[in-house]
């Protein structure tokens, strides 16, 4: 099996036929994205007009702590959707940790810290169902009928699977290959009809739509069981890490939401800049300085160029002080709420217990409907 199917070929080795195939594939992807973007815009307009008609599924893998990139990239939007009145569900995808890792070390701590950060950021467990994969067996059982609705070729073509496989350095496991189907189970068990994502994850929602459509066509033409969920494409800015690279826990360039003011200051102080004293916002030529300015702009609501002009030739030290003060001021309320919640971890576990109970009731009902549609209810 070729595990790096998207490896770039040398230009001299590209035939006309290969170029034509790549062009056709690119055109198909562009057309698919444009259709998804149109559907996203239409869905978002309907959602804002009548939020109660929409069910949203979103979530995280518990591989570490949440950082500023998570807050501005997804958490803030989840809180807004919840408060708008959308039926909001957050899955902590603990089973999906082992798609590309050989250990579940620290997973318990990571799960509980996710819940702490969710609530500190404004997620209300009375309005939003928070649950874990591993505690909802009926949801995972949907994998069996769903796997029969997709081909091996369709799974291999999924670009997210390819990317994950290449970056992990692991051999392709069955769980990684079927990762998009598992996500379809996450989305469809609660009959979510909207999924907020970045454009890179659009293929997952597209395969979920395919599975829902094929199930309904094969087993439930008269009374469809599943909606075909629409992706709501995020317009959140791409947030660089403090060193100008992608913000990532593995790079050590992320400001954790739960970090102390002292830890945050230490991290920002040691972030790299360049030798030019005058501060300017130039992401192409000065990515490290611009990353600091972007961070400051996000937490203050100011334009990064305006901040750069204000600091001027005061240098990197003045820039870092501004970023430290701005980030710590922005995160202070989150940290205060988080510290208060952390005093009672039994209550945090109770929130997960209640969320898992609610998720199980929904999943059991959906699985009953699936078995009914497939003619597999022999126990009544």
Q: Is the dihedral of CA 264, 68, 251, 295 positive or negative?
A: negative
Q: How far apart are CA 122 and CA 107, in angstroms?
A: 23
Asked if 70 contacts 260 with a C-beta cutoff of 8 angstroms, the reply is no
Range of the domain at 181: 35-238+345-373
> What is the count of structural domains for the chain?
2
What's the predicted TM-score (pTM) here? 0.88
- pLDDT by residue (tens digit) across 325-359? 999 999 999 999 999 999 999 999 999 999 999 99
Does any domain span residue 10?
Answer: no
Average pLDDT of 38-43?
Answer: 91
Helix (H) or strand (E) holding 134: none
C-alpha gyration radius of the chain: 23
pLDDT tier at 168, thresholds 50, 70, 90: low
The more confidently predicted of residues 320 and 37 is: 320
How much is the pLDDT for 17? 53
Q: Does 273 share its domain with 321? A: yes
Q: What is the pLDDT of residue 1?
A: 28
C-alpha to C-alpha distance for 304 and 189, rounded to whole angstroms: 42
Is there a single domain that holds both residue 69 and residue 201? yes
Residue holding tokens 């569900």? 89
Of 206, 173, 207, nearest in space to 95 by CA:
173
- Provide φ and ψ at 88, rounded to 5°: -105, 130
Claim to verify: residue 310 and residue 203 sit in the same structural domain: no
Q: Answer whether residue 289 shows pLDDT above 50.
A: yes
Confidence of residue 10 (pLDDT cuts 50, 70, 90): very low
Contact (Cβ atoms closer than 8 angstroms) between residue 80 and residue 132: no
133 plus 267 within the same structural domain:
no
Q: Do the Cβ atoms of 232 and 201 come closer than 8 Å? A: no
Specify whether 298 is located in the same domain as 171: no
Task: Read off the CATH number of the domain in which 44 is found.
Answer: 3.40.50.620
Number of Cβ within a 10 Å radius of residue 155: 17
* 268/336 same-domain check: yes
Residue 152 included in any domain: yes
Residues 324 and 217 in one domain: no
The better pLDDT of the pair 239, 318 is held by 318
The answer to whether residues 272 and 278 touch, using CB atoms and an 8 Å cutoff, is: no
Percent of the chain residues past pLDDT 70, beyond the cut: 90
Which pLDDT belongs to residue 79? Answer: 97
* Helices assigned H by DSSP within the chain: 16-49, 68-70, 76-84, 107-121, 137-141, 143-147, 152-157, 159-168, 174-177, 179-189, 202-219, 261-269, 287-300, 304-311, 316-341, 345-373
Residue 69 lies in a domain: yes
HSE value, Cβ hemisphere, 13 Å, CA-based, for 322: 25
Give tens-digit pLDDT for 71-112: 998 999 999 999 999 999 999 999 999 887 888 899 999 999
Burial of 21 (0-12, 13-18, 19+ CB in 10 A): exposed
> In terms of domains, do 272 and 193 share one?
no
CB atoms within 10 A of CB 236: 16
């Amino acid at each position: 099996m070729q595990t790096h199917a998207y490896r770039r070929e040398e230009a001299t080795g590209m035939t006309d036929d290969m170029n034509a195939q790549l062009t056709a594939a690119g055109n198909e992807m562009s057309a698919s994205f444009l259709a998804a973007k149109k559907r996203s815009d239409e869905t978002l307009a309907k959602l804002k007009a009548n939020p109660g008609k929409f069910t949203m599924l979103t979530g995280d893998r518990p591989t570490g702590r949440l950082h500023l990139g998570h807050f501005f990239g997804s958490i803030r939007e989840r809180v807004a959707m919840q408060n708008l009145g959308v039926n909001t569900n957050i899955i902590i995808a603990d089973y999906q940790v082992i798609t590309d890792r050989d250990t579940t070390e620290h997973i318990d701590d990571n799960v509980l810290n996710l819940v702490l950060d969710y609530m500190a950021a404004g997620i209300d467990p009375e309005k939003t169902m928070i649950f874990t994969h591993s505690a909802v067996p009926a949801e995972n059982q949907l994998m069996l009928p769903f796997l029969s609705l997709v081909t091996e070729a369709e799974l291999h073509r999924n670009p997210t699977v390819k990317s994950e496989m290449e970056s992990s350095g692991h051999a392709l496991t069955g769980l990684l290959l079927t990762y998009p189907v598992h996500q379809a189970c996450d989305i469809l068990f609660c009959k979510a009809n909207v999924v907020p994502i970045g454009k890179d994850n659009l293929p997952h929602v597209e395969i979920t739509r395919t599975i829902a459509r094929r199930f309904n066509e094969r087993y439930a033409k008269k009374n469809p069981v599943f909606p075909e969920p629409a992706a709501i494409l995020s317009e959140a800015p791409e947030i660089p890490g403090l060193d100008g690279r992608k913000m990532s826990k593995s790079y050590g360039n992320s400001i954790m939401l739960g970090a102390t003011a002292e830890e945050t200051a230490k991290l920002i102080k040691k972030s790299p800049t360049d030798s030019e004293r005058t501060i300017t916002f130039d992401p192409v030529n000065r990515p490290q300085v611009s990353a600091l300015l972007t961070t400051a702009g996000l937490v203050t609501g100011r334009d990064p160029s305006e901040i750069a002009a204000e600091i001027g030739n005061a240098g990197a030290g003045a820039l870092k002080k501004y970023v430290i003060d701005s980030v710590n001021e922005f995160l202070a309320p989150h940290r205060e709420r988080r510290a208060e919640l952390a005093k009672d971890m039994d209550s945090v576990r109770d929130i997960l217990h209640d969320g898992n109970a609610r998720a199980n009731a929904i999943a059991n009902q959906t699985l009953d409907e699936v078995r009914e549609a497939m003619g597999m209810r022999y126990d009544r």
